[in-house]
Every structure is written in C-alpha cells, then in structure tokens.
Amino acid sequence: MHIPENYLSPTTCAAMGAVMLPIWYKAVKEVKVKVATDKQTIPMLGIGTSLSFLIMMFNLPAPGGTSAHAVGAVLIAILLGPWASCLAVSVALAMQALLFGDGGILAFGANTFCMAVVMPFVGYAVYTLLKKWTKNKIIASFFGGYIGIVVAALTVAVLLGIQPIFFKDSSGNPLYNPYPLSVTIPVMGVTHLLIGLVEGFFTAGVQQFIERLNLENNKQTTVKKLRPLLLFILAMIILTPLGLLATGTAFAEWDVQELVGKLSHYHVVAQAPKGMLNGFSFHAIFPDYSIAGIPEVLGYILSAASAVLISFILYRLIFGRKVEK
C-alpha cells in the first residue's frame, strides 16, 4: 500500500502534503493533551508505532503474484484514539521512507493520508458503532480493522487511478502511474478484501491480549507490567524474516523496469511514463530493510529492532519532559 516515488505527480504530492500539515498539527496537539492526563500514553505510543511498523514487514502473498501487508492503524486507534494512531502510523511510515526506502518521500503525504488518517478514523468509527450495536469488542475490532484497511486501499487506488486522467504528455501518454481506475480499484480492492482478514484478526487478537493485561487500571506503567507486550514485540522482531517468503512485489510498488514488464498483464500499453523516468530519486540508508555486508535475514531483523528502538526514544524525547514537569 506504500505509494513509491514518482507514481504520483508532484502536484498530487504537494496537495496531499498540504492536506496533511493541519492534520499532523491537530494530532500532535491531541496527543499532548492525552500525555498530560495519562502517563501511559508515551510508552503506548512507542508500542503502537512498533506494532504498526513490524506488522507491515510481514508481507503476504496476494493475487497476481504480488504481495500485501496489514497496517495496524485501527488497533492503535482502539487503544489510544484515532489522533494518536495518526501520529503513531505517520512516524512508522516516516521511518520506512527515510531509512528503508519503503514508500516515496514526495508521496509521504499521500501515504500518511491513506494509512494514518483514512484507515484509523474509518476503522475506529466502524469499531465504535459495532461495539454499541453488538456489545462485542472482538467483532467490533475485527470489522473495524477489516473495513479500515479496505477503505484505505481504495483511497490509494483512487489516487493512483486519477494520474493517467489528469497528467499526460502531449501525445496523451501517462506521465506517472499508468494504471487507470478500472485497474487500480479492482486490484487493490480484491487484494485487501483478502488481506483485510489478517488485519481484522491482528486487530482483534492484539486488542484482546492488551486488554487482558489490565493496563488501564494501573496508574503507573512499569517495564514489568508491560513485559508481556514487550515480549510480544520481541517475538515479532525475530519473526519478521517470514515476510521475506512472499517474493512478489506489491501492486504498483515496482521500479520502472518491472512496471513496464507488468503493464501488458493489465492490458495497459507497455511504455515507461516519462515523469517516472525523469522523476525524483532518493537513496535510503538501508534499502528494502537490508544492511550491506550481512545476511538478508539478519538485516531484516536488525532493521525491525532499530525502528522499535527509535520509536520509544523519539516519543520520550518529544513528550517526556512534559510529563516530568
């Protein structure tokens, strides 16, 4: 679901970035208020970002030889609220883009809008309604996660699918993503109707696991009380190389050469878009979660562990002093 560099026009990227600026501002303000009233918020933000980052590393096989992954945004919204989820998932996506080249730098606003705004707010709304109607948190959280990721995927599909409509060269050829809405919507929709099952089970399962830890009734959150959750995160870190088993690249996350090879499969003219050939290029420090000179599996694990560590340190630096005062 990560939109890569140059699949969206600079105009689209700028517009989505502009949309996200006030949303991030609001999210930070809401989280500051929550931190001031609940000291558990800081470690839980680190846990939420870690869970989101890690679950996105578990790529799963998808139709057409591609792959996809869960996101965890609705889980964080259920635990901390949708504004906190917006911030937590945005941080996870920022680390993925800047450190590992997963998702475009220019497309960051679009990616965060889909996964850190649409998904948590839609999913949380579904969760709230179903919890009220069914009185069953498991059902509510499952369908919150399921519907949240499907709607987010369809939002990505629309952003991609409008590119060949609005951005063409003088000959009428697409400058950026060449797949029309007639391709992006069904492909992203069908894929995430399946991946949504994983998202739903992950959301419901982890939400129940955390609820049983009874953290809400503990005025002070210590490492000892969080130990089961931290061990769960450690287990996820160790198991992340399972995500390498899904060898297919996610739909519309191919490089230009691979993209051209895939176009005819979707009945689109096999021609490299000029805007993608001459677009922005960014070289991440650890591309594709790999570290030069060490085995791929170990690099994947170290990438996961580094992101988790950064998450906890970052929130402590940003919000920690406010709590101490």
CA–CA gap between residue 155 and residue 161 (Å, rounded) = 10
Query: What is the C-alpha R_g of the chain?
Result: 20
The predicted model scores a pTM of: 0.94
pLDDT digits (tens, 9 = 90+) for 1-15: 899 999 999 999 999
pLDDT digits (tens, 9 = 90+) for 96-138: 999 999 999 999 999 999 999 999 999 999 999 999 999 999 9
Looking up tokens 């694990």 gives: 301
- Please list the residues that pair with 174 across neighbouring strands: 168
| % of the chain residues with pLDDT over 70 | 96
Q: Tell me how far the alpha carbon of residue 90 is from its chain's centroid.
A: 8
Q: Hey, what are 140's tokens? A: 């509510």
| Domains recognised in the chain with CATH numbers | 10-324 (1.10.1760.20)
Q: How many CB atoms lie within 10 A of CB 4?
A: 25
Greatest mean pLDDT range, 216-220, 250-254, 274-278: 274-278
pLDDT digits (tens, 9 = 90+) for 164-223: 999 999 899 999 999 999 999 999 999 999 999 999 999 999 999 998 887 665 555 566
